[in-house]
Amino acid sequence: MSVRTKQILKLLAKILVAVVLLALVFSQVDLTDFRQAVRNARWQYLIGVWGSTVLFSLLQSVALQWILRKQDCEVGLNTIFGATCITSMYGLVVPGLVSTGVKWYILKRTTGKGVNVLSAMLYNQVTLTVVMTAVGLVGIIAVNPTKVLWPNAGQSWIVPLLSGVALAAILLVSVLVLNERTGGPVVRLLLAALGPLPEAVREKGRTVLTQIATFQSAGWRFHLVIASINAVDALLVGLLWYFFAARAASVAVPVSVLIWLCAIVFLLGKLQITVANLGVREVALVGLLAGYGVTRSAALLMSMILLSSMVFLAALGVVYQLAWSVRFRKSIRPS
C-alpha cells in the first residue's frame, strides 16, 4: 500500500470518527433548545474569542522564535505567525502531521535548516503539551471535579491524589530529560520503555525524544523562558479564550473549571483521531459541563464558538497564503 493511499485512508478514518462523535452529541441535544441557545447567544464576545486565539498563536510564535534562535535560525515573527495560520488552514481538512509539515516547509525554506526547524517545532510542541498537562493537573487538584461529576462515586480524594502523582512524575521526567548529565540515560530508558508499543507509536516517540535531546545543553534559563511563555499562554490566554466562549454561549461555571477544561480539550486534540478535533471537543464539553448544570445545547454552542476561532485563524492563513503567493510571483517576474 502506497504512502498516499495510507494518508487518504487515515483521513477518511478521521472523518468517520468525527461524524460518529458529532452524531452522538447531536442525538443527545434538543435542536429546538439549541436554536434558542443560538438566538440568545451574546455574539459580541466573539471578538474576545477570536482575539484570544490570535494572541495564543502569537505567543506560541514568540516561543518558537526563541527556540529557532537557539538553533541558529533567524526567522521573523510575522513569518512564524503566518506559517502557524496557514497550518491552521490546512489543519481543517488534512491530518495533523501533514498540515504541520506545511509549517515545517515554510520555515525550512526561510532558514535552509530543515533539521533545526524540526527540532525547534518538536521542542515547542512538547513543552506546550507538558505545560498544558501540568496546568490541567493543578486545576484538577485544586477544584477536584470528582465531587461534582461523580457525586456518588465515594473516595473523591483518589483523583486529586493520582493527579498529584502524575504531576510530580511529569515534572521529574522533564527535568531529568533536559539535564545535560541525566538526559542521555533517561532518554535511553524511555526509548526502551517504548518497546511494547506499536511500531508507529515507537517511531513517533523515538523521533520526539531524539530531537528533544538536542536541547539538553541549552541551559536552565532557556528552558525556563520557554516554559514561562507557554505557562502564560495556557493560564492567561487559554483561560481568556474559554472565558469569552463561555460568556458568548451563556455558560456559567467557575473560572477554575475553565482552566482544567481548556487543558483537557487541548490534550485530547493531540490524539488527532478526528479532523480539526471535531467531535472530540464536543463530546468533552457536553459531557463534562453537564455535571455543572450546563445544558447540552449551551455546551454544544460553546464548542461551536471555539471551533469558529479555529476557522478565524484559518481565514488569516488564507490571507497569508494569498499575500505570500502574490509576493513570490512578483519576485520571479522578469524585469
Cell of 210: 531524539
Q: Quote the CA–CA distance of 120 and 214 in Å, as a whole number.
A: 9
pLDDT for the residue numbered 198: 83
pLDDT for the residue numbered 285: 95
Helices and strands (DSSP H and E) totals, the chain: 15, 0
- Identify the residue with better confidence: 62 or 272: 62
Residue of 155, 175, 156, 177 whose CA lies nearest to 167: 175
Give me the DSSP letters along 141-181. HHH-THHHH-TTS--TTHHHHHHHHHHHHHHHHHHHHHSTT
Whether pTM exceeds 0.85: yes
pLDDT for the residue numbered 211: 82
Alpha-carbon torsion (252, 167, 241, 104), positive or negative: negative
pLDDT for the residue numbered 68: 95
Q: Is the pLDDT of residue 314 over 90?
A: yes
Q: Is the pLDDT of residue 1 over 70?
A: no
φ, ψ at 211 (rounded to 5°): -70, -40
> What tens digit of pLDDT does each residue of 76-111 get?
999 999 999 999 988 887 655 566 788 999 999 999
